[in-house]
């Protein structure tokens, strides 16, 4: 049901935008343009972990299609009772990325993005012990921007085509996980991430 609702919202937004775009100034990219992008995620409730995340990005256009930049993320989780006896965790990460805009439909612009970064996580357990976790992350994502003004856009990260995470805990063995989304076009709206972008 969630996927259907998101799909209907996307179709409505696209139809509405097409109807409005004829009178709007088109957003364009050029060498030297810069942008800030970010999203906030907040989840709380009696049946779910309390989760907060902030994910700002800075980008610089090399030309009208290619951009490079840096990102930062910070998150905090308070867990419900669980078999691992986790109480809460706090993490932060930094990274770099390259973004390529491969489709330009007026104020709708689709992109692919590849990123590489570092994560640090502190885990706190119910018995009072802690564990530190350092890791490397890599990802390839697919997303779109919709510019509702020449400078402001809504950002939708639709799917992770590929993700890799390497974790090295202070107490425990290191792990590596590689995930390739082979069903990309069957569940492109399964886990969307939303944010805002400002370009100057």
- Closest C-alpha to 99, from 141, 71, 137: 141
pLDDT exceeds 70 at position 150: yes
Give the CATH class of 2-199: mainly beta
Write the pLDDT tens digit of every residue in 157-189: 887 788 898 888 887 788 888 888 766 554 555
Q: Does pTM top 0.85 for this prediction? A: no
Position 136 confidence tier, pLDDT thresholds 50, 70, 90: very high
Counting every residue, how long is the chain?
200
Write the pLDDT tens digit of every residue in 32-77: 999 999 988 888 877 678 889 999 999 999 999 999 999 999 999 9
DSSP secondary structure string, 20-35?
HHTTSPPP---TT-EE
Q: Which residues pair with 54 in a beta bridge?
A: 40, 74
* Residue-range domain boundaries for the chain: 2-199
- What is the rounded (10 degree) CA torsion for 28, 13, 37, 89? -160
Q: In this structure, are residues 56 and 100 in contact, taking their beta carbons and an 8 Å threshold?
A: no
């Amino acid at each position: 049901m969630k996927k259907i609702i998101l799909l209907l919202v996307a179709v409505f937004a696209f139809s509405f935008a097409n109807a409005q775009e004829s009178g709007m100034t088109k957003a364009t990219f050029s060498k030297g343009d810069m942008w800030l992008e970010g999203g906030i995620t907040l989840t709380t409730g009696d049946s779910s972990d309390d989760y907060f995340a902030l994910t700002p990005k800075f980008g610089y256009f090399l030309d009208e299609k290619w951009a490079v930049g840096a990102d930062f993320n910070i998150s905090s989780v308070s867990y419900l009772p669980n078999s691992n006896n986790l109480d809460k965790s706090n993490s932060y990460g930094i990274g770099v990325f390259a973004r390529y805009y491969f489709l330009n439909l007026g104020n709708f612009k689709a992109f692919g993005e590849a990123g590489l970064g570092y994560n640090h996580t502190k885990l706190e357990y119910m018995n009072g012990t802690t564990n530190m976790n350092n890791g490397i992350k890599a990802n390839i994502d697919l997303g779109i921007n919709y510019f509702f003004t020449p400078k402001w856009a809504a950002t939708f990260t639709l799917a992770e085509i590929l993700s890799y995470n390497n974790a090295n805990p202070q107490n425990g063995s290191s792990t590596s996980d590689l995930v390739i989304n082979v069903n990309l076009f069957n569940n492109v709206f399964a886990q969307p991430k939303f944010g805002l972008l400002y370009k100057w």
